[in-house]
A and B are shown apart, each in its own frame.
Chain A
Amino acid sequence: MKHFLTTEDLERETIEGLLDDADGFTEVLKRPIPKVPALRGKTIATMFFEPSTRTKMSFDKAAKALSADTVAFSPGTSALSKGESFKDTALTVRAMGVDLMVVRHKATGAAWRLADWLDIPIVNGGDGAHQHPTQALLDCQTIRQRFGSLDGLQIAIVGDIKHSRVARSNVFAMSTLGAEVTLVGPPTLLPVDIASWPVSTTSDLDAVIPNVDVVYLLRVQTERGGASVFPSFAEYAERFGMSNRRFAALKSDAVVLHPGPMNRGVEISHDVADDKRALILEQVSNGVATRMAVLFRLLGGERDA
């Protein structure tokens, strides 16, 4: 594995190997001194061209728990605001002696461009509405911890599928691990021509609720690309929100996930968000351990080091 860019072409063994590594790092993170020297002397740059709180902090924490040094780039305070190009910015940071870059960018394919231009491993921290592969890893880890395996699980991903990198990454990771994925959303937010995706689609959430083991809720907004995509938050909540009524109709061991940040009262009710079967904070915790696994693997660390 040279880079970590997308879940589309990951083998099952690769994903499971990373999740197994993450299990080990979860133990590390529970120690009195939650740190290992695995990447001592390495420098990891977080290049977040698009604002982010949790993903950037999570990568930073993961790098430090592996004893790597971190340098951070943020567009507002950088030479990018003086007109430096995306490419020059990347080459400049590389020239400082960076061993790996995590990149988040609002444009699809940005991480691939860096992989073309630079000679170091690139981790895609989210590119446009395309891919966010470490999010899929942490989600799969959260589900695996609860159910033991994703094999045969029924998973509904609900909301703005069309504009979601989280949905795209999870569709391929979850189905590679054996889950059956259903995409649920208003017709305006389901992507076109997806016969090649390992999923079924529907706009009827209530029809799938009794059968699912996992409901994965996505954050929504009423406008996309300047176009109106559904009438109002109230109408969205009525048809696609995880209300108390729908939560009660779920199987008793079914769980709810959300990548954050949540719109309480829109895609998830206040009560469900705080229920113990909503695994939102477990997702956040697993983010650090799974990102440790990715950084460790890419920087050539031995699994048992």
Chain B
Amino acid sequence: MHDIVLANGSVLTSAGVRKASVAVQGGSIVAIGDDLGDSTRTVDCAAKWIGPALVDLHAHLREPGQEWKEDIASGSRAAAAGGYGAVIAMPNTDPPIDAGHLARFVRDRGDDVGLVDVFSAGCISLGRRGETMSHLDDLWNAGVRVFTDDGDSVKNAALLRAAMEYIAALGGVVSQHAVDPDLSAAGFMHEGAVSSRLGMYAIPSQADDITIARDITLAEMTGAHYHVQHLSTASGVKLIRSAKERGLRVTSEVSPHHLTFDHTDVATTHSDFKVMPPLREPHDRAALVEGLLDGTIDAIATDHAPHAALEKEVPFEHAPNGILGLEWAASVAIGVAGLDQERFFDRMSIRPAAIAQLEHHGTPLEVGGDATMVVIDPSDVWVPVSTESKSRNAPYLGRQMTGRVHMTMLRGSVTHTVSS
């Protein structure tokens, strides 16, 4: 008798997508096939996608230090609702995650909650101050594989070069919030026709591009694996494409909001649209979708960035940067970016797990593997009205979306089922 059978779905297996049922027992996949026998629970998955649970390379869970915005428990609930089995927590907490014991704390809190495997990224620089290296060996020994000063760009080229050399030797990935701090210093939104109308201090696309171009040069010099976070510009996509064509170890991610919205949404001056890098032009959005489809962009990463209502209920310029994303990234991938099943799991699970070097995540389903899976209805049309997050800075609320996570499973235990 199986614990649960996901019946008659479209299953991503190591042999490709096939119509099948998946049987789970004791936390593992015990059978993939047509007639799997008796089960305590059977879930009809006709016309639904079944594949490995999603992996987010980029979420702000705010713990330790900013628990009024989010904590690892609420962030884990949001991640499970979004189909995730693993999340890389960004290290710009208070204190920042710049030493091993802090990274262990984050992972252990995630294990205590038990809804999603939480891995901490580690800071590149001590205290995120951009001056000297953080405790890179100590972080590595605590299991950290992704290094970033996210929230700030590593501006000092000499420090970044040294960090790339050091992290390359360890085997990790250098992940950059690529926005030039001088060109973006006074800015609140994308520099273009909308910022000119609004009279708002703005950030040109080149603030991202010159940082990406410089960093690619350093990656070539050092041989490091360089990853660009939250790509926002068409020209940035071109830089990544050309670096990949030259065979460099360069990867990139795009956020759901940069795939969904653009600077014309900022014309409302609603602070939920305030984010860094800023929402750019419609042609940038189109280039990001194209780059995601052709594989130049490896992953959708949420940049889930909770901020309390009291922080966002202010004029646009005074609001903190950030948009929630964990619960709607899968819907954006399907309904907005138009990913088919194979590319969906490639960009949402397989490649992000490979970039972050996660074991037991992001592999096509196979007998004997962990039952860490997601069930998605790609044609479910729905309107999100609530969130598991402690915050509500989500312009997706109230908008119709296509594609919805119906069930999430972590090592055989169901962490989310759709409520309606």
Q: List the interface of chain A (C-beta within 8 A of B).
A: 8, 85-87, 105-110, 112-113, 128-131, 162-165, 168, 191-196, 224-227
Q: Is B196 an interface position by the 8 A CB rule?
A: yes
- By a CB distance below 8 angstroms, the chain A residues around B313 are 85-87
**A194 and B196 contact, Cβ closer than 8 Å, known pairs A112-B269, A225-B186, A227-B186:** yes
Number of A-B contacts (CB under 8 A): 77
Inter-chain contact B199/A225, CB cutoff 8 Å: no
Residue of A nearest to B318 (CB): A107
Would you give the 0/1 interface string for B266-279, flagging 1 where the beta carbon is closer than 8 Å to chain A? 00110000000000
Please state if B315 and A86 are interface contacts (CB–CB under 8 Å).
Answer: yes
> Contact: A110 with B200, CB < 8 Å?
no
CB distance from B161 to the nearest CB of A (A): 28
Whether A110 and B186, one on each chain, are in contact in the complex, defined by CB atoms closer than 8 angstroms, is no
Q: Are B269 and A113 in contact (CB under 8 A)?
A: yes
B310 to chain A, nearest CB (A): 6
Contact of A128 with B193 in the complex, beta carbons under 8 Å: no
**Given A109-B316, A113-B315, A193-B193, are A130 and B199 also a contact pair (CB < 8 Å)?**
yes
A193 vs B283: C-alpha distance when bound (angstroms): 15
- Interface membership of B198, Cβ < 8 A: yes
For A8, give the chain B residue with the smallest CB separation: B197
- Determine if B192 and A192 form an interchain contact, defined as CB atoms under 8 angstroms apart: yes
A130 touches B315 (CB 8 A): no
Distance between Cα atoms of A225 and B196 in the complex (Å)? 15
Whether the pair A225, B185 counts as a contact (CB closer than 8 A) is yes
Of all chain A residues, the one with the shortest Cβ separation from B192 is A193
Contacts of A110 in B (CB 8 A): 315
Across the interface, do B314 and A87 meet the contact criterion of CB distance under 8 Å? yes
Identify whether the interface residues of B are mostly helix, strand, loop, or mixed. Answer: loop
Interface residues on B, range: 20 to 34
Cα distance, A192 to B198, chains bound together (Å):
12
Beyond known contacts A86-B313, A191-B195, A225-B185: 17 more, CB 8 A cutoff? A85-B310, A85-B314, A86-B315, A87-B314, A105-B315, A108-B199, A108-B200, A108-B317, A113-B269, A130-B198, A130-B199, A163-B199, A165-B199, A191-B196, A192-B196, A225-B186, A226-B185
B201 at interface, CB cutoff 8 A: yes
- The closest CB in chain A to the CB of B191 belongs to A192
Q: Which of B191, B193, B316 is in CB contact (< 8 Å) with A107?
A: B316
A108 and B310 contacting across the interface, CB-CB below 8 Å: no
Q: List 10 A-B contacts (CB under 8 A).
A: A86-B314, A107-B315, A108-B200, A108-B317, A191-B195, A192-B192, A192-B195, A193-B192, A196-B197, A227-B186
CB distance from B264 to the nearest CB of A (A): 12
Considering the chains assembled together, what is the distance between the CA atoms of A255 and B246 in angstroms?
A: 62
B193 touches A109 (CB 8 A): no
A168 and B197 contact, Cβ closer than 8 Å, known pairs A109-B315, A112-B269: yes
Partner of A108, one of B191, B192, B269, B314: B269
Closest CB pairs A-B (n = 3): A109-B269, A129-B199, A225-B186
Q: Which A residues touch B200, using CB under 8 A? A: 108, 128-130
